[in-house]
Homo-oligomer: A and B are copies of this chain.
Amino acid sequence: MAKQAQTAITPTREEDYPEWYQQVVRAADLAENSAVRGCMVIKPWGYALWENIQRALDAMFKATGHVNAYFPLFIPLSFLEKEAQHVQGFAKECAVVTHHRLEAGPDGRLIPTGELDEPLVVRPTSETIIGASFAKWVQSYRDLPLLINQWANVVRWEMRTRLFLRTTEFLWQEGHTAHATQQEAVEETRKMLDVYADFAENWMAMPVIKGEKTAGERFPGAVNTYCIEAFMQDRKALQAGTSHFLGQNFAKAQEIKYLSAAGQEEFAWTTSWGVSTRLIGGLLMTHSDDDGLVLPPKLAPAHVVILPIIHKDEVRAEVMEYCEKFAAELRGLTYHGRPVGIEIDAREGRGGDKVWTWIKKGVPLRLEVGPRDIASDSVFMARRDRGHKDRESLPRAEFVAKIASILDDVQQSLFDRAKAYRAEHTRRIDSKDQFYDFFTPENREKPEIHGGFAECHWSGDPAVEEVVKNDLNVTIRCIPLDAQPEDGQCVISGAPSKQRVIFGKSY
């Protein structure tokens, strides 16, 4: 295991936010770069977090009537060519398989041989390959709706990568559905957006804004793209999940047709929606602090770490036995459908180093248990959502009785804090000067962390998007679904506008 720094993360968020991010990932042992350009290794602590995300989401997908299936990793080039917009958006940066064999060359090095007649693309997303199956599966209106989800790896050849946030290969789920009517497909698109928002807020404790993307930010080939936008601690937005209404575009390109009850041949209406391991980056940047990772209890790989305090060898056996018994008692409890996860850190070494290991791994509750605590049958508890020196002693029985409510309280406090942070850095802006000032780092005391969400009028003119993108690297994050109609003028162009949208910088 990599050596752990003995105290807080260096640098702090204020000093160098991107580097702080890398160091939090590293100190928590979540993931690391691999020898393969842009591909990460998800380490056990990071993968356990992903497993918890998967478990919760998968149950939500199944509760809304979806079933899982699995489709090929490879997509023939000709499939990508079918949907014109899709190919423009997606076919550019892909891993392309051109050979199916390796042979030793004259110098003993391996060389690719066995060239394929048609190259295969490693899926960047699976609309086209799944659509080919849907075209076979859907014959009659009785076969609809078709509600499918896939858990899979996908590859997009990214030039600049960052662990979890943007990697060449990443893990995700992609829902793909086909419906008999436009209305049903639109309802599905919105329903899954609601599922994502519910998951983000109630499991990740990450507040999100539900909205629609502007035309320029749509998924290639979609009629509408909906998204959840989260707010990071450098005041940038993170697009955390998307749900696309694809209209009949893919159905027409792929011939997903059905015979209606009236005996007419009709094209189906399709949707797709996905979230990925990027959520882990979002979770990290929503909650973590200068001490390291902070995990929401509902998704934490372990809820509690027990740190046996052993100052003398004579007490070791007694302390360890007490801790093991205590751990077994806690493991018998469940918290939101999972057994309470307990780690006991029985490693040799300095107590301070051990405490810091678990602070940096983000475990919600730390319990120190030494001879004095055993004598009083109590535990010395620290909560990860509070400062690391903020600890309290409470009777063991009381802790056991209250553990679920303590964890719920941590979960809630993380959500409340994140929501307050977002509110603090969200501004209604109605003048171009203020807009430019808000998003210009040189105007700020802390250039690394500045700006936020700007709620501004926009007339719908794509030229405005281009201007703020070029000038400030700012985009319209979304047109919020809950926005109230309001007459005004576009903050940039002054053109008449009917509602405000969210502007921000983003990952």
- Which A residues fall within an 8 A CB radius of B? 1-2, 32, 34-36, 39-44, 46-48, 50-51, 67-77, 79-81, 87, 91-103, 108-110, 112, 114, 119-122, 129, 132-133, 136-137, 139, 142-143, 148, 152-153, 155, 157, 169, 171, 347
Contacts and interface: CB of A to CB of B under 8 A. Distances in A.
A97 B100 contact: no
Contacts of A2: 137
Contact of A68 (B48, B79, B97, B101): B48
Given A73-B122, A81-B108, A96-B102, 11 more contacts: A35-B79, A35-B129, A41-B70, A41-B71, A44-B68, A73-B155, A91-B102, A93-B101, A95-B97, A96-B99, A98-B112
Contacts of A32: 133, 136
Contacts of A75: 36
A46 B70 CA distance: 9
Nearest to A113: B96
Given A94-B100, A101-B93, A169-B74, A41 B69 contact: yes
Residue in A2, A97, A101, A148 whose Cβ sees the most chain B Cβ within 10 Å: A97
A267 B488 CA distance: 71
Nearest to A81: B110
Contacts of A101: 92-94, 96, 157
Given A76-B36, A169-B72, A102 B94 contact: yes
Contact of A72 (B34, B47, B94, B157): B34
Contacts of A72: 34, 36, 39-41, 169
Contact of A171 (B70, B77, B155): B70
Chain A facing B: main interface SS: mixed
Nearest to A153: B73
Contacts of A48: 67-68
27 contacts: A32-B133, A32-B136, A34-B133, A36-B120, A36-B129, A39-B72, A39-B73, A42-B71, A43-B69, A46-B69, A47-B68, A70-B171, A72-B169, A74-B95, A77-B102, A77-B110, A87-B110, A91-B102, A92-B101, A92-B103, A95-B120, A96-B101, A96-B102, A96-B112, A100-B157, A101-B157, A102-B121
Nearest to A42: B70
A34 B102 contact: no
Contacts of A94: 100-102
A129 B122 CA distance: 19
A47 B152 CA distance: 13
Contact of A70 (B47, B71, B347): B47
Contact of A76 (B35, B69, B347): B35
A132 B35 contact: yes
A69 B48 CA distance: 8
A137 B133 CA distance: 42
A100 B110 contact: no
A1 to B, nearest CB: 6
A161 to B, nearest CB: 12
Contacts of A80: 102, 110
Residue in A35, A70, A76, A171 whose Cβ sees the most chain B Cβ within 10 Å: A70
Contact of A98 (B74, B77, B91, B99): B99
A100 to B, nearest CB: 4
Nearest to A102: B91
Contacts of A99: 95-96, 98, 119
Contacts of A41: 69-72, 133
A97 B73 contact: no
A192 B136 CA distance: 41
A44 B73 contact: no
A133 B42 CA distance: 11
Contacts of A347: 142
A71 B121 CA distance: 20
A354 to B, nearest CB: 14
Contacts of A148: 44
Contacts of A34: 71-72, 129, 132-133
Contacts of A157: 100-101, 114
Contacts of A171: 70
